[in-house]
Amino acid sequence: MYCKKCGGDVPLTDRFCSHCGAPARQIEPEARTCDVIDYEIVGDDMQAVIITLDPQEGVRSESGAMMYMQDGIQMSTGVDGGIWKGVKRMFTGESFFLTTFTNIGNVRADVSFAAPYPGKIVPLDLAKDREYICQKDAFLCAANGVDIEIAFTKKLGAGFFGGEGFILQKISGDGYAFIHAGGTIVELDLKPGETLRVDTGCLMAFKPTVTYDIQFVGGFKNLLFGGEGLFLATLTGPGKVYLQTIPFNRLARSIIAASGVNIRGGEKKGTNILSTLTDFAGS
pLDDT in tens, 116-169: 888 999 999 998 888 999 887 888 999 998 988 877 655 544 444 444 445 688
Instruction: Tell me the mean pLDDT in the region 174-198.
Output: 92
- Rounded to the nearest 10 degrees, how much is the dihedral formed by the CA atoms of 5, 11, 17, 20? -70
- What was the pLDDT predicted at 26? 46
DSSP symbol at 25: G
Residue 43's nearest CA partner among 123, 142, 139, 114 is: 114
3-state secondary structure of 97: coil
Q: How confident is the model at residue 30 (pLDDT cuts 50, 70, 90)?
A: low
Task: Between 82 and 152, name the one with better pLDDT.
Answer: 152
Report the CATH superfamily, name and number, of domain 32-246.
Mitochondrial biogenesis AIM24 (3.60.160.10)
Confidence of residue 1 (pLDDT cuts 50, 70, 90): low
- Round to whole Å and give the CA distance between 30 and 126: 13
**What CA–CA distance (Å, rounded) separates 206 from 199?**
14
- Please state, in angstroms and rounded to a whole number, the distance separating the CA atoms of residues 27 and 17: 8
- In the chain the first and final C-alpha atoms are separated, in Å, by 74
pLDDT for residue 162: 47
Q: Please report the pLDDT score of residue 283 as a whole number.
A: 47
Lowest mean pLDDT among 11-15, 54-58, 142-146, 246-250: 11-15
* Contact predicate 131/171, CB 8 Å: yes
Average pLDDT over residues 43-56: 92
Express as a percent the part of the chain with pLDDT over 70.
61
Question: pTM for this structure?
Answer: 0.72
- What's the rounded Cα separation, in Å, for the pair 67 and 53? 15
- Bridge partners, residue 235, by sequence: 196, 212
Q: What's the rounded mean pLDDT across residues 8-33? A: 60
| Residue boundaries of the structural domains of the chain | 1-31, 32-246, 253-282
pLDDT given for residue 36 in this prediction: 86
29 vs 184: which has the higher pLDDT: 184
Give the residue ranges of DSSP H helices in 92-208: 126-129, 156-161
